[in-house]
Structure 1
C-alpha cells in the first residue's frame, strides 16, 4: 500500500480536529481505552456527543481553549491506503505551524464553515497550500447540518472559493459537503444530502492519484554520510565504501552513470544497498546506500545526480520565504544558516524584493522587513554553493529552512524560485 500524507487547514473552529477524529473513529482506528477516555472527558464537560477533537488536541492549552496550537500527527490505514494526517492550527499566529504541516503533504483539506463561507484564514491557507505546491486540494464544506443540509449553502461556498482559487496555481481542486460531527459524507455517504452525487471524503482520499506527483525524472541523491565499516573481518566488507542518504527524487539503478557535485567527476553505480539487502532499483523517498565504481572524495552535503540532468550549482538564491520568528525580523543584512537537503551553509540576506499580502495577493515593494508569519521574496547569498532546483519542479531540492545561528532555532522556510 502507498502512503498518503494529508494536512488539514482552514479558519478557527471550522472543525479540523473533529474531522480527523471522525476519520479515525469511523475507520476503526481508535483503541477502546482511548474511546473510553474520550467519553469520560466529554461527559465531564457536559457534552451531548463524544468530543472527537480531543484525539488530536492533546496539549492542555488546546483542550482548555478548544483550539489547535501545535501540529498533531495521526496515522490510520484502510485496506487500500495508509494515511499520515497533520492537523494544523487555524489561528493566524500559528500560520508557521500550518506551513510545517503542509510542506510534505500530498493532499491539503481546507475546511470551510457552510454558514460563514470563505474567511480570511481560509484564503490564507489556500494560498499557502498553492505556494507549497501541494498537488491536490480538497475543500470540505463542513457543518452542513447547521446550514440545514441545503444545496444552496454548499454551492455558495463552492462559487466563492472557486473565484479566489482562480488567482492561484492549483492543479486539482475538489469540493465535498460534510458534517464532521455526525459523519455525513466523511466515511459513509450521507442520506441527508441526496443532491450530492460525488464520493465521500474517505473514498476520494483512497482513490486520489498521487503516483504521478512524484518527480521520477530528476535523479537527486543528497549524501547524508559515508559508511566505512570499522575493523571488518569479512573480506567482502574490508573495502566497503558506501554513500548513505534518502533519494530526493528520480530513480537510480546499478550500472547507471552518475556525477558527483561539486567536483563534477563521473562514476558508475555498482550496488544499491537497502535495509533488507541489495536492490535492483531505488526511487524517492527510499533511504539507501550507493556504492560507486570509483573512490571519489564525497562527504555529507554533496549530491549525486545524472551527468546530463544536473541541479543548479548556485550561491545566490531567489526565494519566497515564510518568516517564522516572533523575536527577530528578517531584514537585509540578516545572517542565518541555510539548511538545504543535507547541506548547511552560512548565508546573508541581500535584498527584500517585496512582502506579500496573502489576502489580496498584493506585493508591497516598500516593505523593509518580514515579521512573524510574513511571506516575501528575498535574495540570499550563501557562503558555499548549494545544488538546487526550482521549487515548482522539485519540492525536495527546491525548499530549505533558515536557522538562527545563535539559538539554533528554525526561523524561516523558503522556496527557491526563478530557476529554469
Structure 2
C-alpha cells in the first residue's frame, strides 16, 4: 500500500467513526473547563499558534502560576476569564482513533442553570464533576436531576481534584457512596465513577500511578467504548415521525414537506399520515440537493413528496400510521423554570413545541421537587431554577408525544409573550384526557344571528393604567357613550368581579393573574352574546392580540374627551 492509499484508508476510517455528544456539568469551580481543556491537549489536535496563545493567556489570566491553565481553551468570554467561571455553553470538537466527540462545557453557577439545560438537551452522556474537597453539593444534585430529566441515561461521576486530597481512597469511596443513593432514587441506569485530577491528567487517558487502588477504566477509555446507541430508539419505518418545518413550493410542479426526521426510517412507497388529521398518503420521493434518497433516518434533514395532495402546513407532523400519534390540548409535564420573574398559573405564555408555536397557560402546579431530598413540595408559583410537575393547557390541539417515547416531539420551551424571553423548558409525560369528557354544545342561535338582533357585532374594549389614571371612570364614561349610540354594552370592573366571580381569590401575583383570566373569559362570553364589553384593570391582560379585543392605555392622555371620541369612531367602524 503506497502513501496515497494509506492516507485515503485513514480518511475512510475516520469518516466511519460514530460521534458521541457529551456534557460536563456539576457545581461551580469543580474543574469542568480544565477537564475539557486537558482532553483537547491530550488529543494532540491543537495547532502551534493555539498552544502559543494558550501559554501567553495562561500568564495573563491563568490560575495555575507558571503552568498552563487548560480551562482557557474553553472559557472564551472575557467575563469568564476575569471571574474564573463558565457562563456560556462552550462546544468543542475533537476525535481519537476510536470515536469523534462533541463536548459541551456547561456552567456550574446556579444563575446559569438555563445554559446547562441547553447543553444537556442534545447530549448522549454526562460527565458530572465533583470537587473531592467539597463532596456532593446541591448544584451537583440539581445537575444530576436535570440530566435525568432530559433523557441522559449514562453518567460519569468524575471525582476531580484528587491531587488536593492526596489521592485518598476513603475520600473517593465516601463521595461515590453518597451519590449512589441519589442516583438510585433517580433511576439513572449507568453510573461510572472515576477518580481524576484534570490538571495533572490522572486517569484521563493513562491509568494513574497515584491511584493504585482504582481498577476501573480511564475517562477517555470509557468515552471511547460506552454504547449509547440504544438511547436513540428503534430505526424502523413504524417509528417514523417528522415535524414539518417548511412547505417547499418553488413552482407549480413541486410541493415538498421539509423537516428533521425525529425518529424511525422513511423510504419511498411507505404509508404516511398527517398526525391528528386522519389524512393518509404514501411517500413518493425523499428529495435532497444531490438527488433522491432511497432511505432517510432519524437525524436527517429531508424533503418528502407525497403521492396525494394533502393539507399539510408548518407544525403538522408526518408519521407512519402504526405510530398512532394523537393531538391533545392538555398534558402533564416536568418544567424547569428559568426566569427571574415568577411562573404563575393562569398567566398566558407561548410554547414552542417542535416546529410550532402556540399560546398556553400553566393550569396547575402539582408539586415542585426538592433536588436534595427528591421530596415533592407544594407550590403556588415557580421561582428561578425550580423544577416542578405541572399541567399545561394549549389554546388549540397539537401533536406531541411523551418524552420517554420521542425526545423531539416530547420537549418544549415556554416563552414570555411580551419580552420574548425563554422562561422555562420542559418534557411531556402524558396527554390529559379530561377534555374528551367535555363536548361543545351546538347553539341554536349563531353569533351572526345575535349580531343581526343587536345591529352590531360583539367586541371588547379594555382600559389599562396605573391606579391614578382614572381608567375605571373612563371605562364607565365610554360605556355610556356606547349606550347613547344604541349599542348593547356591559361594564366589567375588577371590584365588580371580585365581589362574586373572584371572591375566592386574594391579592398574590398568582391570584391577580387568575382574576384577570376570569375577566377575559367573561368578556369572551359577552362578545359571543353580541355585547360590547368594556373592562378596566391595572394589569395588562393576555390574549388581547386575539380578534375582538381593543386595548386602551389610559396613561398620558391630556384630553380624555378627545381620546374617547376617537375611540368611539374606531369601535363603530369595527362592529
Structure with greater helix share of residues: 2
Report the number of matched residues: 411
**TM superposition shift of 1:45:** 5.0
CA distance in 1, matches of 2:185, 2:255: 51
1:335 touches 1:348 (CA, 8 Å); kept in 2?
Answer: yes
* Structure 2 alignment gaps of length 5 or more: 1-16, 433-575
Post-superposition CA distance 1:362-415 (Å, at most 9, x none):
2112x1110111111111111121111111222111100111111222111011
What SS does the aligned partner of 2:176 have? helix
**TM superposition shift of 1:419:** 5.1
Larger radius of gyration: 2
Does residue 351 of structure 1 match 2:364?
yes
**TM superposition shift of 1:197:** 2.0
Post-superposition CA distance 1:257-303 (Å, at most 9, x none):
11112321111112112343222211111111111111111110000
What SS does the aligned partner of 1:376 have? strand
Does residue 398 of structure 1 match 2:420?
no
- The counterpart of 1:313, out of the listed 314, 318, 327, is 327
Does residue 152 of structure 1 match 2:165?
no
**TM superposition shift of 1:184:** 1.1
What SS does the aligned partner of 1:300 have? coil
Does residue 412 of structure 1 match 2:424?
yes
When normalised by structure 2's length, the TM-score is 0.69
When normalised by structure 1's length, the TM-score is 0.94
Counterparts of residues 17-416 of structure 1 (less than 5 Å): 17-44=33-60, 47-216=65-234, 218-230=239-251, 239-326=253-340, 328-365=341-378, 367-416=379-428
**TM superposition shift of 1:22:** 0.5
1:221 touches 1:247 (CA, 8 Å); kept in 2?
Answer: yes
CA distance in 2, matches of 1:106, 1:376: 23
CA distance in 2, matches of 1:4, 1:308: 30
Residue aligning to 2:540: none
**TM superposition shift of 1:56:** 1.4
**TM superposition shift of 1:10:** 0.7
Residue aligning to 1:235: none
Post-superposition CA distance 1:137-156 (Å, at most 9, x none):
11111111122222222222
Residue aligning to 2:22: 6
Cα distance, 1:355–1:170 mapped onto 2, change above 3 Å: same
CA distance in 1, matches of 2:95, 2:419: 39
Residue aligning to 1:233: none
**TM superposition shift of 1:82:** 1.7
Q: Mean Cα displacement is larger for which, 270-279 or 23-32? A: 270-279
What SS does the aligned partner of 2:333 have? strand
Cα distance, 1:224–1:44 mapped onto 2, change above 3 Å: closer
Structure with greater strand share of residues: 1
Post-superposition CA distance 1:90-148 (Å, at most 9, x none):
11121121111111110011001122221121111111111222121111111111222
Runs of 4+ in 1 over 4 A off after TM superposition: none
Cα distance, 1:368–1:82 mapped onto 2, change above 3 Å: same
**TM superposition shift of 1:79:** 2.4
**TM superposition shift of 1:172:** 1.4
Q: Mean Cα displacement is larger for which, 41-50 or 175-184? A: 41-50
Cα root mean square deviation, aligned: 1.6
* Structure 1 alignment gaps of length 5 or more: 231-237
**TM superposition shift of 1:312:** 2.9
CA distance in 1, matches of 2:61, 2:73: 15
